[in-house]
Amino acid sequence: MRGPRRAPEGPVRDCAPGWLRYAARMKTSAVAEPPAPARKTPLRSEVRPADTWDLTPLFPDDAAWETEFQALAADYEQIAGFRGRVGESAATLRDALECEKDIDARIETLNQFAALRTTEDSADSAALARESRLQALLVRIGEAFSFLSPEIQALDDATFDAFLADPALAEWRIALKKLRRLRPHTLSASEERLMALGSAALAGHQETFSQLTNVDMKFGVVRDANGRDVELTQSSFSSLLIQRDPAVRREAFAKFYAEFSDHQFSLASSLASSVRADVFHARARNYPSAVEAALFRDDVPLSVYDSLIASVRKNLPALHRYYGLRKRVLGLEEIHVFDTYVPLVEGIETDIDWDGAVDRVLAAVRPLGGEYVATLGHGLRDGRWCDRYENKGKRSGAFSYGTYASPPYIMMNYKSDVFSDVFTLAHEAGHSMHTWHSTRAQRYQDYHYPIFLAEVASTFNEMLLTHHLLEETSDPRMRAYLVSRQIDDFRGTLYRQTMFAEFEKRIHAIEEAGDALTLDTMQAAYRELLDAYFGPDFALDSQLSLECLRIPHFYNAFYVYKYATGISAAVALSQQVLETGDAARYLAFLQSGGTKFPIDTLADAGVDMRTPAAVDAALALFARRVEELEGLLVD
């Protein structure tokens, strides 16, 4: 009924540098030493198996995947037996839905294995071929299943209501009610077939972007503060931006964006194609706009999107105040974007290995109960849910990707000298435990929770980690360090993602108005936002306008606003758990899956996102933290 899907990327995070939260100061020496050997990124074959995820619960090997792939290719056509028969009876509809569910569940497992193997090494030709073959099969399956939703939507109201009341469809009532909402936007069977046939072609720009930025682009080498030559990658960029030496930060920034500049027209063309595809889908399905099409499935009012932007815009002075504080503390004549990630508190050094990061995350989530802690601890250690470290060709950033029948896998590019990676681990663990609870509490057809809720669960864990670390220390300097990190968390998640959300709305409006969506128009729109969000006293480098071409989330349009609403809801829910000591309501939220629309699910948990109250409260906390940090570092 949902139809077979492309391999999802899960709740993905762009961790460098847009998702930088905070990082510890890298150790430097006052004594000149000879340059250290270059730090090379290992090949996938050189990574210890214990540091990788274990995909054998999906398939024991590539050959087993191939066997299931061939079986699915032979089995999916059984759905044809239901064509033209969906309206015969409630029992027939149930059987058709169960057939679709069986095929979809098998696709989930095939999809997950193929996507995770490609993630391991984007240059692995065998993995790329596997994923390409699967996507081609999914187009054929999508075509075969394309009649199902139109036939359900063609049922008259009396028949649909009678079917819904029939015990034969008792387990499908939630899914069917959600589907019925889509009736005005469901096309005829022949039109749905054409949409299914064109799905892969219309999504090709995303693959082009991924291959270009993760494989083809080469950023060179930067000498770090210890005299080491560090290969500049999408992942190592974050480590270089936290170094105390401004020359290192400036060089990393310049080389990174020089490579994007060399490919700017190709990247702009790719992003413009993605926007055009979004507009095509919205118009083809009779939505007023692309943004309303994206919001409709979750039943999120456009007012929630617009209210978020309005609240953040109203509170930009607090962000500008923070940049002014950062400029003073670092003793800079002018502040650039590559100066916004280096730690403000000197003399605090951290080098947290993987086990240390896991220990901190588990201690932080203790308020959620022993089962939560034990399950997560097993997954992050012996269960091998996580692919821990960077290797050549591995996708940048981090994500969690779980399905109904598999472990909730986590991809990381963990670095012990980047303290924000501990928070990234907590974040992805929140996603994974959300999946773990949902799959155990709901039927397959009801377990898929929307991303709107996923970003609440992930950021909730970050809030608990911050609280735990602040409670653990009595050192004013450590408190300043942690407060500063939380400020950067809000800056990256609430302010920055809202800026991204504004940009997405603007470029889609340009396309919808029939105006030219070019490199120049995209950069101009982005520059206006940079000026507003960074403020009049910020030195904006011209290269920063290219940033709009490097954000992976723009290929999944109108996604990023959910990070901002997510952190706002997470602040409210975490305070609720910490103040009451009762996690029952929150755990029920995790178990709810997709049984309700996200606004209603959050209301049940105690947060009403229809009003700006939660966003305004989070922004007020940001302002208080900036004031507190001023007192700790300046007064």
Q: What positions carry a catalytic annotation? A: 428
Q: Exposure string (b/e) for 80-89, b if CB count within 10 Å is 16 or more?
A: eebeeebbee
Q: Copy the structure tokens of residue 530.
A: 């940079």
| CB burial string 530-556: b at 16+ within 10 A, e below | beebbbeebeeeeebbbbbbbbbbbbb
DSSP 519-542: HHHHHHHHHHHHHHHH-TTS---G
Secondary-structure percent of the chain, ordered helix, strand, coil, rounded to 5: 65, 5, 30
Reduced to 3 states, what is the DSSP secondary structure of residue 230? strand
Burial class for 614, CB neighbours closer than 10 Å (0-12, 13-18, 19+): buried
Compute how many other C-beta atoms are within 10 angstroms of the C-beta atom of residue 501.
26
Among 146, 151, 74, residue whose Cα is nearest residue 106: 74
Smallest CA-to-CA distance from 483 within 467, 496, 499 is with: 467
Write out the DSSP string of 193-217. Answer: HHHHHHHHHHTHHHHHHHHIIIII-
Of 322, 375, 296, 258, nearest in space to 622 by CA: 322
State the Cα–Cα distance between residues 66 and 53, nearest whole angstrom: 20
- Tell me the one-letter amino acid at 73: A
Least Cα distance to 16 among 177, 240, 192 occurs for 240
- 420: closest CA among 500, 340, 366, 536? 340
The span from the CA of 277 to the CA of 512, in Å, is 11
Q: Helix axis angle, 476-490 relative to 420-441, nearest 10°?
A: 60
Query: Cα(326)–Cα(317) distance, rounded to whole angstroms?
Result: 14
Q: Which residue has the tokens 């034969």?
A: 168
- Rounded Cα–Cα distance for residues 622 and 484 (Å): 10
